[in-house]
Every structure is written in structure tokens, then in C-alpha cells.
Structure 1
Amino acid sequence: MDRTRSLALAGACAAFVAVPNLGALFGDGEQTDQYATAITPPDYAFGIWAPIFASCAASAVGQCLPAGRGDAISRRTGWPLAGAYAVNAAWSAAAQTGRFALTPYLLPVAAAFAATAHIRLQRTPPATGLVRATPASTGLLLGWTTLASAVNVFAAQADRASPRAVAAATAGLVATSAAVAAAVARSRRGGMTLALASSWALGTLACDPTRPRGARVAGALGAIMISTALGFAMRRRPHTAGRDSGAPRPSDTRPW
């Protein structure tokens, strides 16, 4: 079973990294102009995919090596991460081939898989070797794809430039940011990278003068909420962890 899971994870991660990058090298790449909405971060913000790809690849390698296959983190997160990587690859393929009817549905599914892995990490014993990259990589992936899911859903609206649609998207962005902040506040592992990825998306949106003022305010508000939640988690966890016999040790409860 460990071997089957490892093979599925390796194949999904390879597609996750290869599809968008090979598409950009040998084709037209993802048609990102389709996602130019009131709440879309500026182009430079998408540079976060470099550390996401690198950390996810390191995590997958660690989980697939013989020493990591039987690790508790590998067994609890391998399948949901394989799902997250595979659906992200499918999203990239759809975005490269103009199948935009699919993209609003695919990215939320990928985020849901990543969220499942993140939740399972919270009460899993610490790992060794490259498997230790899993909490950080999962946090990065979840933080970015959660905010990107909101953009994808909004981009599917035919009247996305109308004042009512912009207001709805802005409200949805605030609600999504609040959900991320709640997850960060409750995270024992991966919380710091979850906060960093989502705050990066929101902060760059807040600093983009081409976006509507309401969207920029929503981005700033979301980044503040998530940063505050991270500060709360960093102060709270060392004092509350270990009060019950099933909780991780205090040294293992840092939100990153």
C-alpha cells in the first residue's frame, strides 16, 4: 500500500510541476488574461509558484524514498496531496487549452485536497528527512490555491466588471480571508507558510493601483486578519499544547 501511494504521489507531483512549466516553454501557457479580475493579484505575485513547486517536489521525494514511505505523515497526507497535485495539473491543462468552463470547479477541489492534508498534519508526529518539508509545502499550496479559487469563481461570471459583481467578489475575498485566518489560528504545523502564501496574494493585491479601491482595501484587511491570526497562534500554542495526553509536545506545536 505504501508503494502504491508513493507511485501515485510521484506521478501526480511530476504532472503538477511539469504541465504548467512545459506549457509555458513549448506552448502558449496558461491564458492568465482570463483571470484579470478586480481581485486578481498582479503578475509578479505569481512568482510564488517557484517555492511552491520546489517545496512540494522536496516533500514528494521525501515521501517516496524508502525511508519515508512508512512515515506517519506520508501515510496520512500522501493520498490527499496526490489529489491536490493531480487536480492542479488538470487545472493547468484546462487553462492552457481554453477549457475555462472547468477551471472554476477544479481549483476549489485542489484546495480541498490540500486542506485535507493540512488538517491531517495537525496531530501527526514530527517527521524526519525530506518528509519534514510536507507541512511547509502544504501550507504554501493551500494558502495560494484557496485565494486563487476565489479569483477563479469570480472570473467565471459574465458580468464580472459590473459594480455589483465587483462588490460580491470583494465580499467573497474578505470571507475567504477570514476562513484562512481561522485555519492559521488553529494550525500547529504549516500555519506560517499558510499565512505567508495567502498574505502575499492579499498584500500584492492591496498594493496594486490598477485594482478598484474596494478590492485593495479587502486585500489589506485580509492580510491583516491572517497576520494577526498567525501572531495569535505563535503566542498561544506553546502554552496550550500538551494539556491532554494526545496532543503533540510543546516543541512540536509551532505553527510553521
Structure 2
Amino acid sequence: MKKKKFNQIDYIVENLASSFSKIENFELLQESEEGRKLFDFIVKSIADMESFQSLFLNYYIPASNKSIADSWSQISSSKYKHLLNISKSDLKDNLYETIRLGYVGLFHKYESYLKALVDAVNFLLKELNEISDLLSIEKYCQREYGINIYKSHNHFAITCKVNYISNCIKHYDGLPVKEPIHERFAHFSKDEKIQIERDEFKSDIDRMKGHCELLLSQILAIGFKQFIESEIHGENENARVLKEKYDQILKNFEYTLSDFSNPRNYFTQ
């Protein structure tokens, strides 16, 4: 019997559906235009990141390695090899350049994801925000945490690292010299371009995928936190009951959003 071919999109949708089915009244969210838009956005974003990872790990990097092997074979078999002062490691810069460009692409993927995520959550909460006269995600983040949500990458370990590498590649010819220096490159030579191996690059893509999933929870938490705060505002009996009811939820939100309220510094002093 022929084995059924693995379908990445089926896997994504089924896992998302399984996760969301645990949310109370999720079927009502699915029926709304806002809910469908958010669900479609999540599927597209995950599939897009999976395709990016596959492109680099299964095609670009193997092609670079093959090019290195072919060049080394030519050098090794050349009748002039005694005149050439080239080692196999000297040929690896094509591989490192491919990976460096991968980091630039990875950060651009994240920037696009963040903007689309904020737009999708604002759309999801649009009616609720209008009824309760609430702020957009961007304005609430600015007021509550004093940050521009679109420039919040230094608040998270993986986005801080990827953005630093990307900036060094785009603006400093790949040299790890942008100030302040990221802790990952504190002991790197400032005269050599950033060199990162495939396994670390793969790990960073996986970490970015995980961060994007966490960020979805965080942006949703920001939206609902603002709504709950507006509901418990006041000194009447109803507000007091709601405060007691939502106290633990708000504490959970604060923990979830600690990256915004109490970010760690990822740079050397």
C-alpha cells in the first residue's frame, strides 16, 4: 500500500484546530469574519515560515556545500595546486554568506509577521474596542509600556539576535561591529565577517517560529488585558466583583507580558 504523502498545510491546520478547540466558545469565533481572518493569518504565517526554513536548509545551504566540494575537487586535482595557497575552509565563505543572507530574510519575515499580527488582532477586537472606547494595540503598548510595538525586537532574545546580525550584514559588510555589541558577538573578531554554522541557523529559525507563536498569545493578551481593565474600572459593587473575578487573569497577563514590562538587556555594556 502506497504511503500517503505528508501534507504540511494539513498538519498545521489540524494542530491549530486542536489547540483552538480547547478555547471556550471558539466555534463562535470561527463563525465571525474577524475570527476567520485571524485563523487564516496564523495558517499562512506558519506555512510561510516553514517554507522559508525548507528553502534554506534543503536547497540553498546544500547547494552552497556542493559548490564548495566542487571547487575543492577542482583545486585538489589541478596541476597548478602547488601554486595555490587555498584551504578548504577558505572556500566556506560562500556557505557563510548564504547563511548571513538567511538572517536578513528571517528578520524581514518577522517584521512582516508582526505588522500583520497587530493588524489582525486589531481587526478581531475592532467592535469590542469601539464599544468600550479602547486603544489600538500600538497605542496601548506605547501608553502602558512606553514602547513602539514595531520596534520591540530588542525585548526578545531571538529577535534581538537576528536583528543585530541582519543590521551588521546590511550596514557593516557583515562585520559584528554595530554598537552596542550583542552578547553573542562579544568575543568575535571585529575584523572578520560573522560566521554562523548551519545548525545554529536552524536553531535560530526554530526559536523564531516559537517566538512568533508566543507573540500571538502576547498580542492577544494585550488586547484582552486592556478590555478587562476598562471593565473593572470604578468603585461600584459591580466593579469590585469583576476585580475579584479577573484578578488572577490579570496576574497571568502580567507574567505573559513580562518581556514588555521588564525586558532583559542582550547587549554588552
Task: Please classify the TM superposition score into its range, dividing by the shorter chain length.
Answer: under 0.3
TM-score for the superposition, normalised by structure 2? 0.26
